[in-house]
Amino acid sequence: MARSTIYAGLEIGTHKICVVVGEAKKDGSIKILGVGHAASRGVRKGEIVDFDKVQTCINDALVRAEDRSDVMIRNVYLGVTGAHVESINNRGCYRLPEDQLEITEDDVEESKEIARNVSIPQQNVFLHSVTRQYIVDGQEAVRQPIGREARTLEADYHIIHGVRGRVQNAIRCVREIPLEVEDVVFTPIAAAQVVLTREMKSQGSLMIDVGAGTADYVLYEDGMIAASGCVPLGGDHISNDIAMALQIPNGRAERLKVEEGSALFDDVDPDDMLRVEDDTGHLIGEAPRAFINEIIALRCQEIFELVKDRCEPWMGKLGAGVVLTGGCSLLKGIDSVAHEVFQIKVTRTGSAPVSGVTATFENPMFAAPIGLIRYAQILDSEKPFLSPLVRLSRKVSEMLGSIAM
């Protein structure tokens, strides 16, 4: 089924809106054909608050991407995030009929059906349901149960769900461009496909995509996705903290953070003063660098602590440590704050190398949109004969489960 296909991924971020066009080659490799991004307006904490502004920005990014890649984009894979996205693990147990010895495909379907049948809040919709593993007669971590002899079959599922209205709004916003949405993907899931290697996944690792509006995380344990979610805090909060502490405009604070900001304050000379200028370049004051750094460090620490709280059950099982990505991971010293919080190895990285525009995949800002391409490729390579509707819930899960190995 493998053939060269062109995919487009669209991520509507809080800071930037990014369209990536990529080509999935026959041999499974990916070539990035073009990237278009535009500063984002009308997005707060990963969620769209102003349709018109966002659509203008998407158009900008789209035109740039089309220009560079020389591809006409009609369908996109849309990355969504937001504090409303939650995940649960569920296990569906199915007992085989007495007269049957071997597990058949129907039985697997049945157990999946049971596993998927969890109660989520009424207004929520499933984004992904990923098979983590099968358990055959208590034997864990079975990948392929069909044909085995067993009495009970259990399917372990990781289910990601979000508020229907919010997901729908993002889709509607994109449809009005007009662009067709192929699939909706929870951003960190996409990012993890390019940031984490298979080995890291099997050793156990926690990827945190610290963006402007949200910090999204995915935790892999033993090759299986174990936890995922979104903390509604990000780089914007750091800027806001600085802006409020120094009484300067947000834009200025943002620049200060990017240019001078660091999360290390212990070794900074207390007398090292930082000039604070307003937008026109007039000096509006000076602030001790250490003070600003401490503000940043406090916020970063908080973000990581929130993630850690949610991943507590797996904390001892992360052999490959914590992987930071996303635009905010460029902040100086953020890895040492993360190390302080998690007490394990912390690496900062962008997407794994793919061919194409080097600057793109090296920048962690683009991990998620490139991940969307990879995700699309995985999605299509598995069961291409299923209708897109069924694919959303069913196929996604299977292939993610299989690549998780």
Partner 1 sequence: MVEFTRNPGTPQGAETLHSCIIGVGGAGLNVLDRITLDRTMEATLVAMHTDVRVLSHSMAPAKLQLGTDLMRGVGAGGDPDLGREAALFSREEIRKAVDGHQIVFLCVGLGGGSGSGAAPVVAEIAKSTGAMVLVVATVPFAFEGRRRIRQAEEALELLQKRADALVLFENDRMGELILPKDGIQKAFSSADQLISQCLRAVSTMVTTPGLVKLGLDDLTTALSSSEGRCLFGFGEARGQHRGAEALKRALKSPLIDQGRLLHHTKNLLVHVAGGEGLTLVEVEAIMKQVGRNVPDETQILFGVAVDPKLGESVAVTLISSLGADVPTRDAPRPSEPVSRPLTRAEADDLAPPASLRKPTPRPAETRRAAPPPAPEPEPEPELEEPENEQVEETPAAPPPLPQRSAPVEARQEPEPTPSPEVASTDLDLFGQETRAPARREPTPAASTFPDEVELPEPLEDAAEPEVIVEAQEEVVVIEEEVIAADIVEPIPETTAIPVTSRQPEREPEPEPEPPRASPTKPAPNRTLLSSVIQTNGAKAPSDDMFAAGEQDRGRFKDTEPSIVEGEDLDVPTWMRLKKKMKR
Give the binding site for partner 1 (CB under 8 A). 44-45, 49, 83, 93-95, 97, 110, 114, 117, 119, 232-233, 236-237, 240-241, 243-247, 250, 265, 270, 273, 276, 283-288, 290-291, 294-295, 298-299, 301-302, 306
Amino acid (one-letter) located at 103: I
Phi, then psi, of 18 in degrees rounded to 5: -135, 130
How far is the C-alpha of 116 from the C-alpha of 156, rounded, in Å? 9
- Three-class secondary structure of residue 367 per DSSP: helix
- Residues 197 and 352 sit within 8 Å (Cβ to Cβ): yes
Nearer to partner 1, 82 or 350 (CB): 82
C-alpha distance from residue 232 to each of 155, 187, 253, 306, 307 (Å): 31, 13, 20, 10, 10
Nearer to partner 1, 3 or 151 (CB): 151
Burial 331-344 (b: 16+ CB within 10 A, else e): bebbbbbbeebbeb
Nearer to partner 1, 180 or 305 (CB): 305
Nearer to partner 1, 135 or 196 (CB): 135
Q: Tell the smallest beta-carbon distance from residue 88 to partner 1 (Å).
A: 14
Nearer to partner 1, 180 or 302 (CB): 302
Q: Tell the smallest beta-carbon distance from residue 319 to partner 1 (Å).
A: 29
Q: Tell the smallest beta-carbon distance from residue 346 to partner 1 (Å).
A: 20
Structure tokens at 320: 């490959």
The CB density around residue 294, as the number of other CB atoms within 10 Å, is: 17
Nearer to partner 1, 144 or 247 (CB): 247
Nearer to partner 1, 24 or 231 (CB): 231
C-alpha distance from residue 241 to each of 59, 217, 314, 342 (Å): 31, 22, 31, 23
The CB density around residue 36, as the number of other CB atoms within 10 Å, is: 24
Q: Tell the smallest beta-carbon distance from residue 101 to partner 1 (Å).
A: 16
The alpha carbon dihedral of 179, 181, 187, 192 has a sign of: negative
Q: Tell the smallest beta-carbon distance from residue 47 to partner 1 (Å).
A: 8
Sheet holding 321-325, edge to edge: 224-231, 215-221, 205-210, 321-325, 346-348
Structure tokens at 140: 């864990």
Q: Tell the smallest beta-carbon distance from residue 244 to partner 1 (Å).
A: 4
Nearer to partner 1, 75 or 301 (CB): 301
Nearer to partner 1, 177 or 306 (CB): 306
Q: Tell the smallest beta-carbon distance from residue 90 to partner 1 (Å).
A: 11
Q: Tell the smallest beta-carbon distance from residue 157 to partner 1 (Å).
A: 15
- Residues 390 and 46 sit within 8 Å (Cβ to Cβ): no
Q: Tell the smallest beta-carbon distance from residue 351 to partner 1 (Å).
A: 28
How far is the C-alpha of 77 from the C-alpha of 97, rounded, in Å? 41
